[in-house]
Structure 1
Amino acid sequence: MAQEKGSYYVPHESHWPVVGTIGMFVAVLGAAALLNGLLWGTPVMFIGGAIILYMVWGWFRDVINESVSGAFGPQEDRSFRQGMAWFILSEVFFFAAFFGALFYARIYSVPWLGGEGANFFTGLLLWDGFEASWPTDGPAPRHDAFSTMGAWGLPALNTAILLTSGVTLTIAHHAIKDNNRKVLNWGLGATIALGLLFLGIQSYEYVHAYVDLNLRLDSGIYGSTFFMLTGFHGMHVILGALMLLVVFFRCLKGHFTPENHFAFEAAAWYWHFVDVVWILVFIFVYWL
């Protein structure tokens, strides 16, 4: 084993990066076609998603087998921690770009279009009846046709659910350090269930937005930033729930010890990051 020999484990050649690249290309191609109204976009997007899930399943399986076989030692553990930290940092900048777009549109662009910008753009690019206020309306026939999503209904409930999932995950983390398998499994299971409940409520919220509020992705800059931030966050909740689900099944098999459980910690880091992002989404998208 690598840790016994004092060497760094170098995995064998893997085809999973190639499979993942193909899956992401197909999924993005389908999503782009769907957004442009092409009928073949939906099945292509789901095919790409299926390829990505297949890649994740196969790659996770290989790494888990390497871990269980004792191939990883302290050096690999440090590499995993550094890699996960850099990955979360990249996610921070990913969401920072979208929050930056929201900030720029709301604080700079819209007021400017109502002031100096209106002198040049009125009659050229702006539609009749444009109001430089947030949320912005859309051009006719969608002018003033939608309502905003209030903060203190479903979004507040989802905020409480996600924050509670962070508490149950922390309980599970303390349980694994104490080698309390019963509390560990309970805490992880509750966290996953709360995450799925969050996604179910968000799906209902999207239906409510489209059907009752007429709030759509093309409802001006407000609609695009609303669905962009909440949608990408929901995608990250799905990814985090999948990570926790894999860890949950590994816990049921007794894979972790109080001293060696970085896979659990990596999933926990990611889930807490998702919690923090949602708090920012709730404040800046729903509340303010």
Structure 2
Amino acid sequence: MPRHQELDFCFFKIFLLILIDPIWFAVNSTLYSTHISSFLLAHQAFWHCLILTIIPFPMIFPPKNPEARTEDLYWVFLAFFVLYPTIFSNSDVILDYIKMKVQRISHIYFGLFGMILSVWMMIGCVVSWEFDFYRTISGCIFMFCICSLTFFYLVFSNFGNDYYISLPSASQPFSGIKLYVVTFGLFHLMVGIAVINLTGAWPICLLLLASSFVFCSDAYSCLFTETYIFYDHRPLMIDDVENNSDNEIVCYVVVRRMYEKMKNPEDLPKIFKFDDEVEDYLYLKA
């Protein structure tokens, strides 16, 4: 294909992506590629949840009757709208406190399970409002869950790390058909059918359920993976043109508790580190 046709096709794909899912395009365009290349769907799920739950918040928790007071929750939402960006615009401080040079897989576990808990609490808030639970309390808990979702996302992400973790393709949940992914999918599908019949805000609930499905699948794959890989963040093109190559593999890691259960340990790379010793190795390497 001639070069000008390749460029035209590339621009067409970008234009189509902007039309279909502008959030996906914005995330891919704004964040550094190695920050989202691992667990891409989880990153996208978070940003879709964040944007698509904050913007329609007043419509998710409307008053039950015209005579109900609406000012209380709107004032809380206004305060949240001011405080949230103020707090998380200083996310560098949070990352410096909770992150180190080497990403830990325990941070990924903790972040994913925290995000799962947050989205299910958000679903609970929406559904409970339909059953005449206090609107203001439900809305406040919902906004608190948005904050907790953001915090756990920062823990889960590799922002602030020099070395980050990626699963080998065989262990990734969406590479091929996996039984646990199908199981999670069926469970979330059944809950989604129930939610449609329970609440008028079912589109938001389905979005949260889809995100929970992605988080659960990633959490399971991380929890039971036998190996994972440490990569080094690629330098920015503007910082280092000559060395801006593909992701650099720093080392292969084998989970010690899974090592004895491996059926084919001979398939492992010749050089690898166990998970309980890799952190010291990478700090010495750095």
Normalised TM-score (structure 2): 0.32
Q: Which structure: larger Rg?
A: 1
More strand by share: 2
More helix by share: 1
- Structure of higher RCO (CA pairs closer than 8 Å, 6+ residues apart): 2
Normalised TM-score (structure 1): 0.32
